[in-house]
Amino acid sequence: MSRFWNRRAAGLSPYVPGEQPQIAGLIKLNTNEHPLAPSPEAMAVLSGIKGELLRRYPDPAAQALRDAIAEAEGVAPDCVFAGNGSDDVLAHAFLGLLDPAIPVTVPAITYSFYPVWAQLCEVPLQRVPLTDAFTLDLAKLNESEGPILLANPNAPTGLAITREEIAGLAGSNRDRLVIVDEAYFGFGAESAAPLVHEFDNVLVTRTLSKSHALAGLRVGYAIGASELIEGLVRVKDSFNSYPIDAIAQQVATAAIQDQDWFAAASKQVADWRDELAETLTAMGFRVLPSSANFLFVEHATHSGASVFDALRDARVLVRRWDKPGIDNWLRITVGNEAENAALVAALAEILSR
Ligand SMILES: *Cc1c(COP(=O)(O)O)cnc(C)c1O
């Protein structure tokens, strides 16, 4: 606390990201990073970057990147907003599209950054509990008058709803904005992006962090009606005109254009995920059916906290929240074959104690 903090800074409870420890030999399965190397085409662009690119300011509109996304999604470029990771894009949505006078409805268990942005932007939150099966309570979400923000698949459960269910939320009240956070795009959930042609009240956000193995690059984007996108651009141009640096713009553009890498890498992760889910189930874990690159699991006899600590001692890092309803659960990122095997070996030893 400092006497120089203003009321806003003093009132914040900032988001706590998953640890990024620099420990050699650590099996890091705690922040849902992609287990494969990024697209070789994107890496080739990175290798070719010249100093001249950095002498100039980057394109404030990130036009080439937005054109590539627009082409991949079959929308116009003015229906695409690009930002500095999807956290940045979602923060723009809170600032430009949500209103301090109208509560935004979110699932009670979801991405824990939503309440942080709500606090920063002074937007009230209305939390709708999940069902007993950890699924979204669509009927209750639908009762809200104001905007809805949800992650699909949800975090940290990994459970997805269908595009038709999202269309149901958007169609039953066209004055209600529905923001769909598709951070885990590619790993199995249906995307709501095609809905933007029909619904001007649907905004889809995505990130290259998970789907494209580029968490360190910090690029995310939104797809929606051009008027929604313009609202985000107005916020961007009132805060930081150049959020995406020149290197990130070029690398991300190549990554988006390498659709073969994306398809193959997404399928590989989904295959590893399904294998790991089977193995963990056989070891006595309840495993929620995941459409993401992580599994949300609870053991029948060993507490989440004890397994978390024992894995940490075995140099395997996963994620756990001390929150009512999910405090006995672990979220485990799907790693590569060697990482998943190391996880399973550590768990086998822990569970046999
Ligand atoms: C990881 C994640 C994000 C943010 O990703 P960025 O790295 O900021 O692009 C947003 N929403 C959910 C649900 C996530 O899991």
Strand partners, 149: 179
Identify the residue whose C-alpha is closest to ligand 1 atom 15: 183
The predicted structure's pLDDT at residue 17: 84
Burial profile 60-70: b = 16 or more Cβ within 10 angstroms, e = fewer: ebbebbbbbbb
Instruction: Tell whether ligand 1 has an atom less than 6 A from the beta carbon of residue 207.
Output: yes
Is the CB of residue 183 below 6 angstroms from any atom belonging to ligand 1?
Answer: yes
pLDDT at 106: 98
Alpha carbons 159 and 295: distance in angstroms, whole number = 10
- What is the 332 CA–ligand 1 centroid distance (Å)? 16
Nearest atom in ligand 1 to the alpha carbon of residue 88 is 8
User: In the prediction, which pLDDT does 254 show?
Assistant: 98
What is the pLDDT at residue 16?
85
pTM for the model: 0.97
Q: Which atom of ligand 1 is nearest to the CA of 209?
A: 7
The phi, psi pair for 19, rounded to 5°, reads: -65, 150
Between CA 167 and CA 173, with CA 168 as vertex, the angle to 5 degrees is 100
Q: 172 C-alpha vs ligand 1 centroid, how far in Å?
A: 28
Mutate to test the pocket of ligand 1, among 34, 86, 182 (most ligand atoms within 8 A of CB): 86
Best of 206, 207, 334 for a ligand 1 pocket test (most atoms within 8 Å of beta carbon)? 207
At 21 the pLDDT is 84
- Ligand 1 contact, 155 CB (< 6 A): yes
Q: Whose CA is nearest to atom 12 of ligand 1?
A: 183
Ligand 1, atom 14, residue with closest C-alpha: 183
| The pLDDT of residue 22 | 83
Q: For each successive 10 residues of the chain (353 residues), what is the average pLDDT? A: 93 87 89 97 98 96 98 98 97 97 97 95 97 96 95 98 98 97 98 98 98 98 98 97 97 98 98 98 98 98 97 96 94 97 98 92
pLDDT reported for residue 27? 95
Look up tokens 């996880």; give the residue. Answer: 343
Distances from the Cα of 304 to the Cαs of 15, 162, 324, 327, 344, in angstroms?
22, 30, 13, 7, 15
Q: How many CB atoms lie within 10 A of CB 228?
A: 23
**Does ligand 1 come within 6 angstroms of the Cβ of 221?**
no
